[in-house]
Amino acid sequence: MISGYLITILIIIVIYAMLAHSLNIITGHAGQISLGHAAFFGIGAYTSAMLYTEAGFPFWISIPLAAVVAGIVGALLGIPCLRVRDDFLAITTMGINFVVEAIFLYIPFFGGAMGIGGINLPKWFGREMTKPEYFILILVVFFFLLLLDRRMGHSWIGLAWASIREDEQAAGAMGVDVVRFKVLAFILGSAIAGLAGGFYAHFLTFIMPQNFGFGQSIVVLSMVVFGGIGTRWGPIVGAIILGILPEVSRPIMEYRTLIYGVLLLGMMRFQPGGLLGSGSILSRTLQRLSITYGSKGESR
């Protein structure tokens, strides 16, 4: 009997890991800073919530649709966005976040300030899924997403992304269709964020526009950066550590947010590559350890 409390934490962490992973596709693979990623999280959550509560769609259909809708919106927004450069793009993504949140808040069709409630866990085998079963479900889905990411990374898509990340202009000069690959990253990143949003809505059973604002975007971005942008496991590690932090630091609850800010500050100031980025203390230590133990068989 696993405690419901533990399962709750685990589910939240997996959802965040999925979200951080999706942002990493945009930020890490395509090299674009997105400050408004929570917008897609929200679009997925609302899509799934509304299909479920208003149209009566079962979970198994509303979730994939959440990903599809978020991906489509990502494409629509991504294309004009990419006309804008660098820092302008970063702030434009922030702007999109605000506008999306405002739409959820002000248009009564989306529930407005009251939010949407009554979004239950999925049913299977004639009964409602238990929380541990839900956890296994999203873990399996996430696992498949990671496999997919690995395959893409080894394919020409991954190479194209890597070249864009290293030097956009050079890649373009070499014949890489920069815009096309950036948009692809945008779509993929938003779709997965939408998927995470759908899972989130059914877990929390109730969503409000404020859950998907700029603050949430920063939380996700911090996880990616903390773990290491562009690394495969970095965002996941970031999600785990920053996801557990509120639980572990509950005894010192007065200072939690302060610690969070200082942690972020310190990490970027002294280890900008993140926890798993190249050159970080952790990765260097791991390297040294592997060298020491790797050569154990040879010496003496």
Residue closest to 51 by CA, chosen among 40, 60, 62, 67: 62
Q: Is residue 13 near another protein by the rule CB under 8 A?
A: no
User: Alpha-carbon distance 175 to 86, whole Å?
Assistant: 21
Q: How many residues bind another protein (CB under 8 A)?
A: 67
Pick between residue 148 and residue 248 the one whose CB is nearest to another protein. Answer: 248
Closer by beta carbon to another protein, 102 or else 147: 102
Q: Own/partner pairs for 230-234, CB < 8 Å, 24+ apart?
A: 230/24, 230/27, 230/28, 230/29, 230/165, 230/277, 231/28, 231/274, 231/276, 231/277, 232/146, 232/149, 232/150, 232/153, 233/276, 234/24, 234/274, 234/275, 234/276, 234/277
DSSP calls for 204-228 = HSEE-GGGGSHHHHHHHHHHHHHH-
Does residue 116 contact residue 45 with C-beta atoms inside 8 Å?
A: no
The Cβ of residue 275 has, within 10 Å, a number of other Cβ atoms equal to 20
Q: Which is nearer to another protein, 56 or 297 (CB)?
A: 56
Q: Taking CA 62 as the corner, what is the angle to CA 57 and CA 63, rounded to the nearest 5 degrees?
A: 155
Task: Find the binding residues for another protein in span 177-216 (CB under 8 A).
Answer: 204-206, 208, 210-211, 214
Q: Under a CB-based contact definition with an 8 Å cutoff, are residues 164 and 171 in contact?
A: yes
Angle between the N-to-C axes of helices 131-154 and 156-166, in degrees from 0 to 180, rounded to the nearest 10: 80
Distance of closest approach, residue 263 Cβ to another protein, in angstroms: 7
Nearer to another protein, 254 or 298 (CB): 254
Q: For another protein, which is the closer residue by CB, 251 or 294?
A: 251
Please identify, among the stretches 43-51, 108-116, 185-193, 281-289, the one whose residues bind another protein according to the rule CB under 8 A. 108-116
Q: How far is the CB of 229 from another protein (least distance, A)?
A: 7
Burial class (CB in 10 A: 0-12, 13-18, 19+), 64: middle
Instruction: Choose, by CB under 8 A, the member of 58, 123, 266, 285 that binds another protein.
Output: 266
CA–CA gap between residue 77 and residue 95 (Å, rounded)? 11
Is there binding between residue 138 and another protein (CB under 8 A)? no
Which CB atom, from 72 or from 204, has the smaller least distance to another protein?
A: 204
Least separation in angstroms between residue 210's CB and another protein is 7
CA 100 to CA 85: how far, in whole Å? 21
Q: Is 24 one of the binding residues for another protein (CB under 8 A)?
A: no
Shortest distance in whole angstroms from residue 293 CB to another protein? 32
* Touching another protein, residues 44-103 (CB under 8 A): 53, 80, 83-88, 90-92, 94-96, 98-99, 102
Query: Residue 272 CB, nearest distance to another protein (Å)?
Result: 4
Residue type, 118: G
Residue 166 found at the interface with another protein (CB under 8 A):
no
Which residues contact another protein (rule: CB under 8 A)?
A: 3-5, 7-9, 12, 27, 33, 53, 80, 83-88, 90-92, 94-96, 98-99, 102, 105-106, 112-115, 117-118, 120, 204-206, 208, 210-211, 214, 218, 221-222, 225, 229, 246-247, 250, 253-258, 260-269, 272
